[in-house]
A and B are shown apart, each in its own frame.
Chain A
Amino acid sequence: KAGVTQTPRYLIKTRGQQVTLSCSPISGHRSVSWYQQTPGQGLQFLFEYFSETQRNKGNFPGRFSGRQFSNSRSEMNVSTLELGDSALYLCASSLDLWAGEAFFGQGTRLTVV
């Protein structure tokens, strides 16, 4: 059974640019959540999607957005990148809306220069 796949694994962008990250959940899983991990703030919840609808959103500015497609694949977008957006972005896949355990991908390491 394939795990959670995140692409790309590594990304370098310039301040002011925008970026799109992709997450393919485990087959059959309908919930996808996104987290930002930085050395200073640790792991922080960005948002959760279920059945193509954003169900929950963390405390991040509107520059961070996402969507989920009918096949449960999800993308997150960050516009007008800032240096502080440099982080590891992790995607988590769950069978149902927080039914319990979540399976994480290896993340996308975003560096903003």
Chain B
Amino acid sequence: AQKVTQAQTEISVVEKEDVTLDCVYETRDTTYYLFWYKQPPSGELVFLIRRNSFDEQNEISGRYSWNFQKSTSSFNFTITASQVVDSAVYFCALSEAGGGADGLTFGKGTHLIIQP
């Protein structure tokens, strides 16, 4: 069975600090996808990134960057120079190739609080 663990329940930092959200996953599949979603107070989940299991290249998008390491089954997310607008709950998720019976398997989420 698939499993995603986000050990950090809540993180609070001061604006402009860098922050890393951890994600560790478990799967028996060799082909899978990893995702990060942001959930602001309004409720909808906002897609941030998808990474497939064969692409371990790190990705940077503006202030956001992702570090995928298959050797440690981790897919960590770093926000550089955090801003108050980054405050939200962030979810890491996993899916088998083609979906599979479990759809997206989500971690419990990390509540990120950016203080001004």
Contacts and interface: CB of A to CB of B under 8 A. Distances in A.
B87 to A, nearest CB: 18
B104 A45 contact: yes
A105 B91 CA distance: 16
Q: Kindly name the residue among B33, B35, B104 whose own CB sees the greatest number of chain A CB atoms within 10 A.
A: B104
Interface range, B side? 20 to 34
Interface residues of A, number: 28
Most buried by A among B35, B47, B99: B99
Contacts of B46: 104
A62 interface: no
Contacts of B104: 33, 35, 43, 45, 92, 102
Interface of A is mostly: strand
B42 A42 contact: no
Nearest to B37: A104
B65 interface: no
Contacts of A107: 43-44
A100 B104 CA distance: 10
A90 B45 contact: yes
Given A88-B43, A98-B98, A101-B35, A45 B50 contact: no
Contacts of B93: 43
B44 A48 contact: no
A57 B102 CA distance: 7
Nearest to B99: A98
Contact of A56 (B45, B47, B100): B100
Contacts of B43: 88, 90, 106-107, 109
B64 to A, nearest CB: 15
B95 interface: yes
Nearest to A50: B99
Given A97-B98, A98-B98, A107-B43, 12 more contacts: A33-B104, A42-B107, A42-B108, A43-B106, A45-B103, A45-B104, A48-B103, A58-B101, A90-B45, A92-B45, A102-B104, A104-B46
Interface of B: 33, 35, 37, 42-47, 50, 91, 93, 95, 98-109
